Structure 1
């Protein structure tokens, strides 16, 4: 039952699902059939709060709810005072590269930083300002300076010294440059120099293409690149925890794009990076870090191109052999998302109708029996068992509600009969990749 939904959330849900994407906010109002997964995730969050680090792989078919699951995890983690970030693998974004593709993924992560007060992303300036204010307060207290005076220019070197000292305590790799850039941001903050703040943010987000450009604008000789971006993510994790946050959670979706890398050597290097992250997290080399990867069964299990083609990952990610459909193991690294059953889809559609009606302030001419007829029609169509996904079901249902809202004289049963099933899987069949000659 949907209760206390905000108008902004209702609009985001309706517009996003009609557009075939997952809404960034309000997903908790349409979450059905995932209670066990969420309960296990909450338990994992507690472990990360206590200093552990975790990697999870969320595996399912196209349209099965992987992206939805990640957004739902975001909602839960934000309430637990985590800093979160989302990034999608694309042909131009990956974990390993020598031509800027990895730092592009890093930049996407940094641009999407979110906290509970700014869940839509873009929280890096807020986080930096909060941390700097904490250092200023600490500096003022340690030196007997009034908080109202610590921002004066005469105390700039003193605060900068404490910034660098604190960064050195937090960071293992790249601490000098990391701390220097944050000092530059502080200098711009105190002197109301928006350009200096902009340049510092540009560096921290990995947006400098050359060292020459960074040196000209910031006086910094190094930049964040394909080879050191992971160290910077770990530095930021420590920074966030030092501010009082529970940890740093990074969600990486569309992992099928790693599977699609045609060059076997490059693909293996990306899997090797996943192995590094996995080992760092599970062996206790990093603290308070949570990585979630979302991908298809092919991405995980394909013996030629998937993670299972890399033996060190295969041995770590094979499913608990004692697990059954009735006995699930949610503590293992790989969580396979089962399809929603018909009862769960029915509850989802009921919730969506309530949200739709609240959003448009209407009463839809759809009753419970109509939802059942809609489901019978769509699930009995040719190809439904093979191709039908929750994404297509919800989009068709909302499209019908929209037509009925704008055309009250339409016959809903006629619309139900016009439903068709299409194959929404990317590239329809990925098996052809196995036969492509690799160079």
Structure 2
């Protein structure tokens, strides 16, 4: 039995991995072989807690565990009292755009805001209401008004003044409209007007696409858009820290979708935005912010389309020339994720078997020797050395466990013999250079 494993976590782990995706919760129970990376990350979190900011690039081959690593970082950061958020780059989500794709990325980030008591995301309303309660308590103490009375209509101006004072202290660009919308949320919170709360939250999450609509529903003059969303993220970071959180960590996965942008000018603009964020964090222009990017080696190293095609980024992201596979430098901005070795994969599969049994309340007759035989069958298949990834190993193993659970009379050895290795790499990513010619 795995210590501390909860039924909800076990279900999330099995269902997600069977579907080929990383579970949002419980990843700490299936972590193997990443202790040095996690230890270095914890040290980086301590620096961010002290007011520094940081950017990390997690680089590895397709299926090497980049997304898993980001989810593991979430679990660690949540325990360190960070607010965290995840978003994937897609053809419709970018860092820089002039057609709403930057705003779409912001909306995805804010929709996935998580805290330790709500790790699956959707925590923004919880955070807003927690902050409002803090302001109510502080306002009551400052003016000697009992907490039971501070919500009364006659005290509304005092509370509004306190809310706006805090916002003015912590925000820079867009602070006025941000403050007005938070006041609208407060009005809805106190009066029980769910419609007003919903509209305010819609604005704060970047879901208004026209100023006219926002003005009609909230009376504000501006909205969050492609050109100001990053400033708004910095405002949120300051607000979270003001509330008592350690900082704001944002994970941005699937950077291959920036690499695949077809026009060189737009691709360069996105890389320029990465450079701007990088400089802000390492030059002290923003505090308590931690941003992680995840991508393949092509995303980083390709001289024509990757980050190295932008000279200012290449000079900052080149690997420490003294680093080797045996001697690692986890303090540098780029962390290369090396593949799990066979011993680590064996330990991982043993853990997954325990979690599977716990989830379904069964005890499948799969011994350590059976796991070793499964690995030998799979790793000796044609193409295994080139194409086999941890993702495929895990899914094949869980698929066999699922079949055996529902068909206990089947021969394990026969199932092992049916294993095949497939090339699961997305072909369009590797064809991008050709398409540009």
Cα–Cα, structure 1 residues 302 and 13, in superposed 2: closer, same or farther, change >3 Å?
Answer: same
Shift of the alpha carbon at 1:432? 2.5
Match of 1:374 in 2: 374
User: How do residues 107-122 of structure 1 correspond to structure 2 at under 5 angstroms?
Assistant: 107-122=107-122
Match of 1:337 in 2: 337
Helix, strand or coil at the partner of 1:294: strand
Shift of the alpha carbon at 1:162? 1.1
CA contact (8 A) 1:387 1:422 kept: yes
Match of 1:246 in 2: 246
Helix, strand or coil at the partner of 1:33: coil
| Count of matched residue positions in the alignment of Structure 1 and Structure 2 | 437
Which runs of 5 or more structure 1 residues have no equivalent in the other structure? none
Shift of the alpha carbon at 1:430? 3.2
Shift of the alpha carbon at 1:190? 1.0
Match of 1:436 in 2: 435
User: How do residues 144-293 of structure 1 correspond to structure 2 at under 5 angstroms?
Assistant: 144-293=144-293
Match of 2:411 in 1: 411
Distance 1:66 1:121 in 2: 20
Residues 1:128 and 2:102 are matched in the alignment: no
Helix, strand or coil at the partner of 2:55: strand
Distance 1:123 1:394 in 2: 31
After superposition, the C-alpha distances for 1:122-173 in whole angstroms (9 at most, x for unaligned) are 0000100011111111111111111110000111111111111110100111
Shift of the alpha carbon at 1:435? 2.7
Query: Structure 1 segments of 4 or more deviating over 6 A?
Result: none
CA contact (8 A) 1:365 1:404 kept: no
Distance 2:326 2:251 in 1: 28
Residues 1:53 and 2:59 are matched in the alignment: no
CA contact (8 A) 2:256 2:429 kept: no
Please report the RMSD computed on the Cα atoms of aligned residues, expressed in angstroms.
0.9
Match of 1:352 in 2: 352
After superposition, the C-alpha distances for 1:251-307 in whole angstroms (9 at most, x for unaligned) are 000000000000000000000000000000000000000000000000000000000
Distance 2:207 2:413 in 1: 53
Distance 2:351 2:186 in 1: 47
Query: What TM-score does the superposition give when structure 2 sets the normalisation length?
Result: 0.99
Match of 2:82 in 1: 82
Shift of the alpha carbon at 1:421? 0.4
CA contact (8 A) 1:237 1:248 kept: yes
Which runs of 5 or more structure 2 residues have no equivalent in the other structure? none
After superposition, the C-alpha distances for 1:14-38 in whole angstroms (9 at most, x for unaligned) are 1110100000010000000000000
Match of 2:296 in 1: 296
